[in-house]
Amino acid sequence: MGKATGFMEYQRAQAPSRPLVEQIGDYAEFHGVYDQPTLQQQAARCMDCGIPFCHAGIVVEGASVGCPLGNVIPEINDLVYRGLYAEAYARLRRTHPFPEFTGRVCPALCEGSCTLGEHEPPVSIKEIEHYLDIFARERGVLAPRVPVVRTGRKVAVVGSGPAGLAAADALNRLGETVTVFERADRPGGLLMYGIPMMKLDKQIVLDRISILTQEGISFICNAEVGVTLKAESLLADFDAIVLAAGATRPLQTRAPGAHLDGVVAAMDFLTNATRGILDGEQAFDTKLSAAGRDVVILGAGDTGTDCVATALRQGAHSIVQFQRSAAPPDHRAADNPWPLWPRVQTTDYGHQEAIAVYGNDPREYGTSIKEIRAGRDGRVCSVITVGYDTSYRDNRKVLSERPGSERERTADMVIVAMGFAGPEPTLARALGLATDAAGSIELAAAGSYATSCPGVFVAGDMRRGQSLVVWALMEGRDAASEVHRYLEEQERFHNS
């Protein structure tokens, strides 16, 4: 590395951000960027560790170790330290199709496995990636690259979320002619409607869609395969199909009253908020608004945090976020050693904002709802909560209801952000594909992206279950390589 002693000389620095009270007044992105001197110092902290787990891209005991995309982070950091930003961005793009997305929304698996992070705050890898994206946009480095040679083959990609976009991008670069089908009115999938504006500005998504279009990829929206578009037509018109429609079937609370007016799925809540911003008041359903309401959010993951931040901006009267499990520890537990992803307590942007507004953290651990009650109008008016104790038996976590802990709380909106049960069944049924118990499409072979139907492949959350954007990008990219090999083999077979 260019600065061998940098990790001893410089401390990790926070990127600048707007004051929280100002931040919650609009839907502008809250991410700030380093100035160049600070950026180079942060890159200098990369410590030439010899075995850089930051880009291992593996799963150990169910936990991620390093970046799934395999970004060669030490080389990128060295180029940034030397001020070679264009070269650093080019090195990043060799493995990463869309740094603009992960630089904003990724939890930074790379930082969780940073060697320096074993005993100091890790290198600011995500912030450096974010800066490189800003640099590429401002300097025109991010520009269309149209393939020189076309194979004459056609591939359909179903779904335009991160996996679908990554697959389309990689296939296009390999010379295949790609058409992406999206059931929503805009492309982007989760990136467009599942992540709020202040975390990922939708112009960022649309700008990249524009570049992909200029590179030769076609996008067809309002096209749901198996509903408005016959699956048979795809099988007849394309040489291969990649299914990347995500795992969008939400988990539901089993508490009595879950059917009541005022109980909403997190994706419906977030999608409605984004539509209202993009398309105006006429597209905003006030029944899904948190304005003036006492909001209960079930689930303490990233989506739950996004719901907290969105409800704040809509003017919620109060917000509480329940999680049945106990709060994570402040430091790594004995069964969570480096370089595994650290399961520790953090305070994300939505929680910081809620503390600034209400004076307290909205999260309540060891708590869930036992019943949802209706008022005279038939709408949610309160919830009955119950406490849970966490214990361990045979190294397995056990949650048990705490006797006498029931309590009634006022609530006129319950947002269910508990995750996803798996893919919706429409595509699998339309194509006659077998699925497992969770609804994920069964594969032709372990580790493959191919399904039991020749020429049909699956990637992203449809294949691996609910996961992160960075894993979806990796899946789409790698699935594209398998599709290309299949098409090459088919062509050689027919020409032989």
> What's the first-to-final CA gap in the chain, in angstroms?
51
Q: How far apart are CA 381 and CA 317, in angstroms?
A: 14
Same domain, residue pair 102 and 15: yes
How confident is the model over 38-55, as pLDDT tens digits? 999 999 999 889 899 999
Which residue, 390, 418, 446, sits at the end of a domain?
A: 418
- Give Cβ neighbours of residue 14 (< 8 Å, ≥ 6 apart): none
Beta strands per DSSP E along 92-215: 154-158, 177-181
Q: How far is CA 485 from the centre of its chain?
A: 28
Same domain, residue pair 130 and 10: yes
Residue 60, beta-bridge partner list: 63
Q: How far apart are CA 78 and CA 3, in angstroms?
A: 8
Same domain, residue pair 256 and 245: no
CB atoms within 10 A of CB 94: 11
Mean confidence (pLDDT) of the chain: 95
Q: Is the backbone peptide bond immediately before 97 cis, with ω within 30 degrees of 0?
A: no
Say whether 399 sits in a helix, a strand or coil. strand
Inside any domain, residue 363: yes
Q: Find the mean pLDDT for residues 438-466.
A: 92
Same domain, residue pair 413 and 436: no
How confident is the model over 183-210, as pLDDT tens digits? 999 999 999 999 999 999 999 999 999 9
Inside any domain, residue 147: no
Q: How many domains does the chain have?
A: 3
Q: Find the mean pLDDT for residues 1-8.
A: 86
- Give Cβ neighbours of residue 346 (< 8 Å, ≥ 6 apart): none
Inside any domain, residue 317: yes
Which residue, 364, 398, 418, sits at the end of a domain?
A: 418
466: left (phi over 0), alpha (psi -120 to 50) or beta: beta
Same domain, residue pair 264 and 322: yes
Flag whether the pTM goes above 0.85: yes
Asked if pLDDT for residue 1 goes beyond 70, the answer is no
Q: Give me the CATH number covering residue 182.
A: 3.50.50.60
Inside any domain, residue 103: yes
Same domain, residue pair 408 and 315: yes
Cα separations in angstroms, 429 against 92, 182, 225? 39, 18, 10
Task: Read off the tokens for 285.
Answer: 């359903």
Same domain, residue pair 392 and 292: yes
Higher pLDDT, 62 or 102: 102
Q: Computed from CA positions of residues 86, 91, 93, 94, in that sequence, does the dihedral angle turn out positive or negative?
A: positive
- Determine which helix (DSSP H) or strand (DSSP E) holds 274, and give its type and residue range: helix 266-279
Q: How far apart are CA 462 and CA 483, in angstroms?
A: 16
Inside any domain, residue 148: no
Length of the chain: 496
Q: Find the mean pLDDT for residues 124-150.
A: 95
Same domain, residue pair 267 and 381: yes
Same domain, residue pair 119 and 18: yes
Inside any domain, residue 89: yes
Backbone angles phi, psi at 423, to 5 degrees: -70, 155
Backbone angles phi, psi at 495, to 5 degrees: -90, -10
In this prediction, residue 496 carries a pLDDT of 77
Which residue, 387, 418, 449, sits at the end of a domain?
A: 418
Same domain, residue pair 111 and 37: yes
Same domain, residue pair 350 and 301: yes
Q: Give me the CATH number covering residue 104.
A: 1.10.1060.10
378: left (phi over 0), alpha (psi -120 to 50) or beta: left
Q: What is the span of the domain harbouring residue 194?
A: 154-249+422-495
Inside any domain, residue 1: no
Closest CA to 476 of 58, 72, 65, 168: 168
**CB-count burial class (<10 Å; 0-12, 13-18, 19+) for 473:** buried
